[in-house]
Amino acid sequence: MGGMMAPVRNVFTEVAERGFCIGCGLCVALCPAGTLVIGFNESGVYSVRDKAGTCSENCNICLRVCPFSDYSEDEDALGKELFGALGGIRHRPETGYYLGSFVGYSKVDGHRENGASGGLVTFALEALLSEGLVDKVACVGSTGDPVKMFKYSLCSAPEEIRACSGSCYYPVEMSEVIGGMLREEGRYALVGLPCFCKGVRLAMRRVPALGRRVKFILGLVCGQLKSKLFAECVCALGGGDPHTLRRAAFRVKDPGRSASDFGIRLVSREAGQGEREVLVHWTEGVDRIWSDRYFTPQACNFCDDVFAEVADASYMDAWLPRYSGDPRGHSIVLVRNGQVWDILGGESAKGAIEMRQLEIGDVIASQSGVLEAKRRELPERSRLAEEAGQRVPKKRLQLCDSRLSAFRKRIVRLTWEVSGRSAERWLKLGKDAGRFVREFRFLSWKILMLRRIDQCFKIAVGVWRKAQRVLFH
């Protein structure tokens, strides 16, 4: 046995090999041995690999900055350290810390029209740049490369930031932009999903240069990320060719539809026919692909952060009945950093943005579906994974209310099956939308029926509780 050496424990053995890498790429940028590389795995999700196996046992930096490792601090600890002592700060278990919250939109030309919701992320990034508070911002834009349709880049001009407007339901990774921040002195802002924000905060604590240089982190509320196969499947559902998909725009506004029924535009290039563009709306099947958890990365099944709790400000769609009908779009913003609050207040006074105060209860209500999936269903998913012999990432189960109805538990089991099987079946069936839909038809029908029954059950329980209050008090 003498010559056999156990592999060094690193993010590859502890996170990626177990299927929980979300592909943020931070570890790749920070690995001192340069042994980690990132690329798409067979499910179309970014994942790290250990190319040379040359890392040192005493290093562990990858495990300390990984948002899904068991060796890094959680959002509660990071949030407390960042915001816990600020004057006027408040806290809710669902949202983490916050100074204030509002609903609104940008009034600057093009921001709202091209933005995912109210265009307020683009507004804030431009404001940070124009006020001279940062030199560059890291955001995500389209590349024109069919293999990697979106990527992070560092922007130093407002028009570059504007070109990145909109939400990207496609994997992206940060190794290049974080590498850029490490190489070049400067002040940076970054926009990211909750797990990416957490990773950057962790990295800022371990790497002093990054800690000094990253001045602002803007978070996007996130229900789940999707693998790159999601775009292919939507393209095929709309009649396009998933094999030759070139470009995508995931949030196309339509003046004739509500904000929540946005379109996804996909451009493919079919042999001898030039480019073909298809537009598929949310209610034309995308809603089911999204909420039944087709092409959802395994890491997202174990995420408990809805509101990007460690970001300086978090941005989301105003999914409340009074706003979601307006096709122009409204954003809700949760602010944790006093400087960001002052900037936005000043811009509102100047008339550059619309900013109406919104109660925290309404902010939480706007994300009720996401909270259900991330906080209430997580313990059940952990149980299913453990049943299958998987060791799941440590998450804040103490924040999760695990009392689920029998219907809900069944839904979790079925959507777990969908997220586990959909990528493999999509590829095995040759990306043929017809065969794919036929194969999953019964499973999808069961999920739909159970959701309806669960909804009726919830209404009945609500009526019963109300009746009890009236009758017995």
Cβ atoms of 246 and 275 closer than 8 Å: yes
Using CB under 6 A as the binding rule, whether residue 192 contacts ligand FAD is answered as yes
Instruction: Note the Cα 421 to chain centre separation in Å.
Output: 21
Residue 138's H or E segment, with its range, is strand 136-142
User: What region does 53 belong to: left with phi over 0, alpha with psi -120 to 50, or beta?
Assistant: left
Q: Which of residues 8, 21, 116, 308 is near ligand FAD by CB under 6 A?
A: 116
From the list 81, 100, 121, the residue with the least C-alpha distance to 310 is 81
Kindly state the smallest distance separating residue 134's Cβ from ligand FAD, in Å. 13
Using CB under 6 A as the binding rule, whether residue 68 contacts ligand FAD is answered as no
Q: Which stretch binds ligand FAD (CB under 6 A): 52-60, 168-176, 209-217, 441-449?
A: 168-176
From the list 185, 200, 165, 177, the residue with the least C-alpha distance to 67 is 200
Bridge partners for 104 per DSSP: 331, 355
Cβ atoms of 336 and 82 closer than 8 Å: yes
Distance CA 370, CA 224 (A): 8
- Segments in 250-396 forming alpha helices (H): 286-291, 321-324, 338-350, 360-366, 368-371, 378-387
Distance CA 302, CA 28 (A): 22
Q: Which stretch binds ligand FAD (CB under 6 A): 18-26, 86-94, 118-126, 427-435?
A: 118-126
Mask for 365-384, x = binds ligand FAD (CB under 6 A): --x--x--------------
Q: Which of residues 11, 63, 172, 249 is near ligand FAD by CB under 6 A?
A: 172
Q: Which stretch binds ligand FAD (CB under 6 A): 91-99, 166-174, 197-205, 401-409?
A: 166-174
- Residue (64 or 330) nearer to ligand FAD, CB: 330
- Residue (55 or 150) nearer to ligand FAD, CB: 150
Kindly state the smallest distance separating residue 326's Cβ from ligand FAD, in Å. 13
Distance CA 343, CA 345 (A): 5
Kindly state the smallest distance separating residue 12's Cβ from ligand FAD, in Å. 23
Q: Which stretch binds ligand FAD (CB under 6 A): 4-12, 18-26, 96-104, 186-194?
A: 186-194
Sheet holding 331-335, edge to edge: 150-155, 136-142, 188-192, 214-220, 313-317, 331-335, 100-106, 353-357
Q: Which of residues 8, 45, 178, 191 is near ligand FAD by CB under 6 A?
A: 191
Distances (CA, A) of 111 to 83, 124, 222, 352, 461: 29, 11, 21, 11, 43
Contacts of 383 (CB under 8 A, 6+ apart): none
Q: Which stretch binds ligand FAD (CB under 6 A): 217-225, 232-240, 353-361, 402-410?
A: 217-225
Place of tokens 């550059």: 352
**What 3-state DSSP class applies to 71?**
coil
Encoded tokens for 279: 């537009």
Kindly state the smallest distance separating residue 139's Cβ from ligand FAD, in Å. 3
Kindly state the smallest distance separating residue 353's Cβ from ligand FAD, in Å. 10
Q: Which of residues 119, 194, 242, 420 is near ligand FAD by CB under 6 A?
A: 119
- Residue (177 or 245) nearer to ligand FAD, CB: 177
Q: Which stretch binds ligand FAD (CB under 6 A): 82-90, 113-121, 275-283, 451-459?
A: 113-121
Bridge partners for 46 per DSSP: 40
Using CB under 6 A as the binding rule, whether residue 231 contacts ligand FAD is answered as no
Q: Which stretch binds ligand FAD (CB under 6 A): 23-31, 111-119, 255-263, 443-451?
A: 111-119
Kindly state the smallest distance separating residue 310's Cβ from ligand FAD, in Å. 15
Mask for 302-341, x = binds ligand FAD (CB under 6 A): -------------xxx-x-----------x----------
Site of interaction with ligand FAD (CB under 6 A)? 115-122, 139-140, 164-169, 172, 191-193, 220-223, 225, 315-317, 319, 331, 367, 370
